[in-house]
Structure formats: structure tokens, C-alpha cells
Chain A
Amino acid sequence: SAVISQKPSRDICQRGTSLTIQCQVDSQVTMMFWYRQQPGQSLTLIATANQGSEATYESGFVIDKFPISRPNLTFSTLTVSNMSPEDSSIYLCSVEDHGRGKLLGTDTQYFGPGTRLTVL
């Protein structure tokens, strides 16, 4: 499986500021995903980021609040903009590689270590 790293691992931010989270993979992957996990809750998909195209956002998430970049097949960033305390969560990057001949959307998703964000 791919090795995924995220930066920063944790941060404490002030209300109204923005934070950019980086996700780096040690191999080229087709699909990258960003999830949010609010305290004590399950994971919710924010968006799917494919290289060379605009990110696809899930219901309830918008590009202005969570802009995403995917400049190449090993890297992506998620920005949490104009933060409020409600944005305090763990943000996880996930990857899926279907390049081994499997159908898109059928492979296993592997997750990064997460970024623990606290907004004061």
C-alpha cells in the first residue's frame, strides 16, 4: 500500500484565519480524497481530487471554504478557509490506486495520519 504523509500533524488556529494541509504520497495515485472527522464522529467525505481536473465536492462542502489543489499524482492540498471553532476536526487525506488494472472505485482506500485542527 502507498505511504501517505500529512503536514501539519496538528495545529491550533485563530478564528478567521486559514490553514493549508498538505498530503504527500510515496507513489503515483489516481484518486485522492479529503475527509473530515469531527470530534467523536465518523468520517465525512469533503471532496475527491483527481489530477488535471477540478475537485468534486460532496453536498454541504463548497470550494470557497475548502479549496483543493492537485498539481500532480503524488500531492494534494486542502485549505480550510475563514475558520471557525466548528471547523475543529481531524482532516484526513486518503488515496486509491486503480492503476493495477482494477475498476475505478473498487480498490481499497488508504489513509494518511490525519491533521488535528483546533480553532479557537
Chain B
Amino acid sequence: AQKVTQAQTEISVVEKEDVTLDCVYETRDTTYYLFWYKQPPSGELVFLIRRNSFDEQNEISGRYSWNFQKSTSSFNFTITASQVVDSAVYFCALRTSGNTPLVFGKGTRLSVIA
């Protein structure tokens, strides 16, 4: 069975601080796909990144960066110099091959205080 754990329920930081959101996943499949989504207060779910299991290269996109480590089954998300607009619930998700459903973690609520 697939499982995604986001141990941090809520995080609060002051603007301009760096923050890392943790994501640990479980799967027995060798081929799988990891995702991060952002859900602002308005409710829509915004896709941030998709990473394949055979691509461990870390990725940076502006103030966002992702650290994928298969050895620890983790796919952590770091926001550098956080801003108030980063305040949202962030979901990590996992999907294995074979047309299986997307499995979400419980989410981490990030509050950035000005």
C-alpha cells in the first residue's frame, strides 16, 4: 500500500525566513511519481512539481526547491525567503504506475507572518 506522511501539521514563520516542509512516502513499487500541491485559502489546488522515482536530481524554481532522497524515502520542499503569499496548506502526494489513485498526505499548513 502507498502512504504519504507529512509530520508537520502547522508551521508558522516570520516573513523572509526559510522553511522546509517534510514529506516521507512509502511504496513497494520501483516506479512512482511524487508531487507537491499548494492550496491557498481560496481552496483551489495548485500544482507545484512532479518528480519521477528514477530522477533524483533536486530542483530549484525561484524561491522554491525540492530535495528528493530515495535512501530516506523523502521529498522535502523548501521555501527560501518566505513571503506572506506563501501562506497556504501544502500537500505532498504519491502515485505509482498502473493507473493507481493519487495518494495525498494530510497536508502542512504554513503561516507566514509579516
* A1 at interface by CB-CB < 8 Å: yes
5 extra interface residue pairs, beta carbon distance < 8 Å, beyond A42-B91, A94-B45: A33-B101, A104-B99, A105-B99, A109-B35, A111-B45
Of residues 18 through 48 on chain B, the ones whose CB sits less than 8 Å from some CB of chain A are 33, 35, 37, 42-47
Contact of B101 among A42, A48, A103 (CB under 8 A): A48
Q: Is there contact, CB below 8 Å, between B91 and A112?
A: no
**Could you say which of A94, A109, A111 has the most chain B C-beta atoms within 10 Å of its C-beta?**
A109
**Could you say which of B91, B95, B99 has the most chain A C-beta atoms within 10 Å of its C-beta?**
B99
Q: Is there contact, CB below 8 Å, between A112 and B44?
A: yes
- The verdict on A114 contacting B102 (CB below 8 Å), with A43-B91, A105-B97, A106-B33 known, is no
Residues in B with CB closer than 8 Å to A111 are: 37, 44-47
* B62 at interface by CB-CB < 8 Å: no
Residue on B with the closest CB to A114?
B43
Residues in A with CB closer than 8 Å to B66 are: none
Q: Is there contact, CB below 8 Å, between A106 and B44?
A: no
* Interface residues in B, total, Cβ within 8 A: 22
Residues in B with CB closer than 8 Å to A110 are: 47
Q: Is there contact, CB below 8 Å, between B47 and A103?
A: no
Residues in A with CB closer than 8 Å to B45 are: 43, 92, 94, 111, 114
Residues in B with CB closer than 8 Å to A90 are: 43
B90 to chain A, nearest CB (A): 11
